[in-house]
Amino acid sequence: MHIVVLLKAVPVVGTERLDGASRTGRGQLESNGNDEYLLEKALKLTEAHGGEVSLLTVGPAPALEALRKALAMGATRAYHVKDDAIVGSDIRATVAILEGAIRKLTFDLLFVGADTSDGQGGVVAPALAVRLGMPYLSYASEIEPAPDGSRVTVHRLSPTGYDVLEAKTPALVMGTQVLGEPRYPSLRGIMQARSKETVVWSLGDLGVEAGNVGEGAATTRVLSAAAPPQRSGATIVKDAPDAAVQQVVDFLAARRLI
Amino acid sequence: MTDRLSEDQRALRNAVRELADERIAPRAAEIDQTGEFPWDVVKLLADHDVLALPYPEAYGGLGGDLLTLCLAIEQISRVCATSGLILAVHELGATPLMLAGTDDQKQRWLPDLAAGKMLVAYAITEADAGSDASALRTRATRDGDAWRIDGSKRFISHGSVAGIVAVFAVSDPDPAAVKAHRHLTCFYVEKGSPGFAADRLEHKMGIRGSPTAELTFHGVVVPDTNRVGDVGQGWDLAMRTFERSRPGIAAQAVGIAQGALEVATKYASERKQFGRPIGQLQMVGAMLADMATQTEAARQLLYAACDEIEAGSPKAASWAAMCKLFAGDVAMAVTTDAVQVLGGYGYITEYPVERMMRDAKITQLYEGTQQIQRLIVARDLLTKRD
């Protein structure tokens, strides 16, 4: 079984900064949280059933750090789409680039996180499924491939519990943190990660026209962006539980919240 | 600062720091309060190959160099000195084996140590022989293909939880042999050997989760195949071991100091008196500046010492002594000042700095007191070299 996991390198949560053009700064990067849950699931599945996990990212050079960590966690290899022309791409262009890369790969399952902590568009997964003409299984809380790999069963979270979906492979599965906490990389994994294969692709390798991506080709414009106002005036209750509960209840009652 | 570290070293350090921050730090206060050995931390370190760091790859280890090992000890000790010591002792106890063991002996024990399935301890100190190792009394007597060990050891870190213990015993009590430092031989004694017991634990000021045991040997029969190094080579082996283990204690000390500095800095930026954060008061700000400077100086000396020792410096013993001496004193001073910065809050268990101050003290005592380190440095200075 070959599982491809889309992994985006996002600004380290809590350190995000906007540049003058309202673009998110890409200095210190880490793996997007939602993507790590899918990676963890992919690793567990291949550990149980055999197979390989490939990572695919579109991002600048520092994204390599996030790929290295994911390789240290146990992924087999990484594909890194890197091209200066990509800077400023909108979601449409991002999907086109990803599509180009995915079409070069043969796989059984494509795992995509629900959204990313920087862009939060949340449409890459369904858009890719449409472009690739693939079954789309969303909000997975459980993923189980058939023993022969020809089908996959997914529990899809619903307001009342979960729906059980089944699809032929190759299929695209979108998931969230319900899949389980990602592992810490082992030190042995970190040392082995360096010697694992990392394939770098430019737009030309994917047959994607540079003119169709990047800021110039963007169909959406960010008109403005602002940092949220600093929160202040928090009341921290440090008393013993009984006294603390009373204070919290009084606080909420005074504001008619309970 | 990070430029002197390789990409691998940075990655390994960061991974250990993440583990320490997220998984060990929340346990530190409880480990100190209960005084119970944290087997959960042993498992955590084993599961993530941290315990494999000191051992050669051929025996299931990661073949980490001394600096990489120290980076890991530093990061763990930053949040919990007891847990940092787990890794330091794991190296200390196995170093005689790595330095002088045969391939058979290494095959026998190192894979289990690397996998963290077994812990190891190092037993040289006795009740009446601390700094003066010539006063050791534990005897090893030849008995055909085996040896009989009689005596007792005291202040042995991990003595009660280790599967094997490196025991240094007197194989030749002749005064001439003692004078020539040919009186000691090193044996690995396995837990469960008849006559070997690790019953009594010390009640300590700091590193309270780390069991410090008294070991007794009543006619313990040890096969000659458990002897590591030549007969009479024990002293030399013990001293060469300290060249590689004292940096580990220096790393523990740097970690403790760094941890205390971070708590004090955060507190000084949040605690308000006279209408502003106390860090803005010059007297407090100056303390923080001195603490940071001392900690960084100790760290840089440690990193340089590791590189020198790994490169085979003829002054390895001196480098090891200097970094432990300096870092131990820095840890004591910085943690004491951290308590001062926190004032009354620093003196109570609500904040971790009182624990760090108690933990720091041991780094001035074990693996040779600060006085012994000075002796080593002075002797080296005054030794004539060709």
B201-229 pLDDT tens trace: 999 999 999 999 999 999 999 999 999 99
Q: Does A72 touch chain B (CB under 8 A)?
A: yes
Residue A126 has a pLDDT of: 95
CB contact under 8 A, B8 and A194: yes
Place of tokens 């080296």: B380
CB contact under 8 A, A194 and B18: no
Q: Does A187 touch chain B (CB under 8 A)?
A: yes
CA angle A139, A75, A24 (to 5 degrees): 65
Contacts of B64 in chain A (CB under 8 A): 187
Amino acid at A154: V
Residue A118 has a pLDDT of: 83
Higher pLDDT, B192 or A225: B192
CB contact under 8 A, B62 and A186: no
Q: Is the pLDDT of residue B1 over 60?
A: no
Kindly state the average pLDDT of the residues B58-62: 97
Q: Does A191 touch chain B (CB under 8 A)?
A: yes
Helix, coil or strand: residue A110: strand
Q: What is the mean pLDDT of chain B?
A: 96
pTM across the whole model: 0.88
Residue A233 has a pLDDT of: 77
Q: Is the pLDDT of residue A240 over 70?
A: yes
A24-48 pLDDT tens trace: 776 688 999 999 999 999 999 999 9
* Best residue in B6, B9, B10, B12 for a mutation probing chain A (most A CBs within 10 Å): B12
Residue B2 has a pLDDT of: 52
Residue A223 has a pLDDT of: 83
Q: Does A185 touch chain B (CB under 8 A)?
A: yes
> Which residues of chain B have a Cβ shorter than 8 Å from any chain A Cβ?
7-8, 11-12, 15-16, 18-19, 23, 47-50, 52-53, 62, 64
Q: Is the pLDDT of residue B185 over 90?
A: yes
C-alpha to C-alpha distance for B294 and B333, rounded to whole angstroms: 9
Q: What is the DSSP letter of A12?
A: P
C-alpha to C-alpha distance for B89 and B82, rounded to whole angstroms: 11
Residue B199 has a pLDDT of: 83
Burial B38-66 (b: 16+ CB within 10 A, else e): beebbebbbebbbbbbbbeeebbbbebbb
A81-132 pLDDT tens trace: 999 999 888 999 999 999 999 999 999 999 999 988 887 788 999 999 999 9
Q: Is B202 annotated as catalytic?
A: no
Kindly state the average pLDDT of the residues A206-235: 85
- Name the band, by pLDDT with cuts 50, 70 and 90, for residue B3: low
Amino acid at B69: L
Residue B239 has a pLDDT of: 95
Q: Does A167 touch chain B (CB under 8 A)?
A: no
* Best residue in B21, B62, B69, B90 for a mutation probing chain A (most A CBs within 10 Å): B62
- Name the band, by pLDDT with cuts 50, 70 and 90, for residue B104: very high
C-alpha to C-alpha distance for B160 and B156, rounded to whole angstroms: 8
Question: What is the ipTM metric for this complex?
Answer: 0.82
Chain A residue closest in CA terms to B23 = A184
- Exposed, middle or buried by CB within 10 Å (0-12, 13-18, 19+), for A211? exposed
- Name the band, by pLDDT with cuts 50, 70 and 90, for residue A227: confident
Task: Write the residue in B8, B18, B19 that is nearest to A191 by C-beta.
Answer: B8
Place of tokens 């909000």: A139
